[in-house]
Chains A and B, each alone.
Chain A
Amino acid sequence: MKKYLLKRVLTSIFTLLVILLVLFILMQLMPGSPFNDEKLTADQKAALYAKYGLDQPVIIQFFRYVANMLRGDFGVSYNISKNTPISQLIATRLPISIYIGFMAVLVGAVIGLLLGLLAAFKHDTIWDTIATIISVIGVSVPSYVFALALSYQFGFKLRWFPILFSQQQMFQSSVLPSISLSMFTMASIARFTRSEMLEVLGSDYMLLAESKGLSGKTLIFRHALRNALIPIITVLAPLIVDLMTGSLVVEKIFAIPGVGSLLVTAIQSNDYNVVIALSFIYSAMYIGIMLVVDILYGIIDPRIRLAKEGS
């Protein structure tokens, strides 16, 4: 287990370093310098370069850059809001995005699980068909189509929920974005739960447990559910990534002031610093989530741990 853990952590750190290197190279390639004021003389520029360490060798600059990024010092924004520290820009937006993302995962996981279980237990009945249809639609229709449909029906026509996000009504206005964002998660988890559950229900150890005379409740909760749930953790990690991309679109539709919409504005207005900072944050979050999921998976299921150690 220790060896596996160490290997995973090292890979993650290495990946993060690669990303930082790519970002650093991009920064070097970008046109212009941080000091674009035409009034500066060559001497003044040189002094400024010395002050910020830009006259040092590239290697040292890189490590300084890495240290700054890890400390959360991303520099200042050039275009979106001039000379505001980016960490400040992001600090107000990140919690909103995380809140909506968390709601979406919660809704998606719970409903998806229930739907998948329903389909598995009522296998080959009308319930199964309904659950299958819902999950196929959920997987194939993009989240912004759901977002548009929901905001048209429940926001514009019925006026149950606000069309646009407002911080005063945090909960009401995050209902529609969360639901539209959760559709893909829900559908994938439903599909996965169903097939896992069917496999477990048809396994030999379930037959053994049943023939031992265990009651239905113990049978389902102690034996079936536990084994079926383990692999579901693995699908959650890639789903969280889809939430990131999905959030860009959903944030645009509902005018949510989150990091997704910040990223889009930053790309459109060529605000390199912001784009790079956000790329770093997205990558770090992604790598962190993948790491946690892998470790959790190793802890929960000894078979995976042993298999990975063996290879």
Chain B
Amino acid sequence: MSVTRRDFLIGSAALAAGTVVTAPFLLPKYHSDQRPKRSRVAVLHAQQYSQELDQLLAAGLRLFPINVTGKTVVLKPNLVDYIPGNAINTHPLLVLAAAESFRRLGAKSVLVAEGPGHQRDTQLVLAQSGYEQSLREEKIRFVDLNRDELIRTPLHASYTGMKDLWLPRTVLEADFLVSMPKIKAHHWSGVTLSMKNMFGVVPGARYGWPKNILHWKGIQESILDVCATVPICFVIADGIVAMEGNGPLNGTPRPLGRVVLADDPVAADATCARLMGFDPSRIVHVREGARFLGNAAPGFIDQVAEAVAPPAIPFRVVPEFLNLYTH
């Protein structure tokens, strides 16, 4: 077969055009590989919310070589709205226990920060969910991330196509950011765990209630962009009473009796997913996050405290996420 100069030029042009079209899909969408060589996760047993969570967390944190001495620690719970009887929010007793533990570990300051995604009256959610009084009594400062000072921040990944987001100063200047999600099934993203919990740092005053731009740009993609840009240093996930079904607001409380600690958000979420009876590799943001944010594969996770066992009955989900089940 002979190749003419004309054939060669046409072929080259086609190859160049193909490269231009496909390159954006083949190139990595993250700027840097932030994965640790190994990650550590501790699953702790806790049947109820009580003052004993102080001791439980203190003991749990000793399983990790973390150093917060002299650092500003920001605890970011999941605080969305208040509906009596629904397990929507990270329980305040767990947040207080975390604050106390980090203070004992030598943190310069510990504050709690959140920007509720559904309710504009942050003070009302704080009061109704039991945070306001607890934080006041323990002299813990709360920052409303929906109304905090804004800093235009370039994104460190490009899954959404957005170049930057306005993000709150308190979170950007934190030395040690702790994501404290409520373990829940979620009707848009399958699950809401430590990574999805970071939607709360996106300010409502700029982007609205709910944080609509993140839905328009793709929830899974937005989770990845936000987590790449605002690194989570540690995870304390509230699974004592979790939520299944139509979360994040109207699901059913599901007693799980677990608190999950981790030094890697991807490892934390993969473990939580397994505890819910899901295959983490079927959760888009966990699977993609495992390429650059952290470790999801059990071989890269040092499991301490309790073993991870899937529940006899997996968490219920809305029909669109039935594919998350391991079986």
Our verdict on whether A and B bind, yes or no, reads no
**Which positions in A face B, CB cutoff 8 Å?**
none
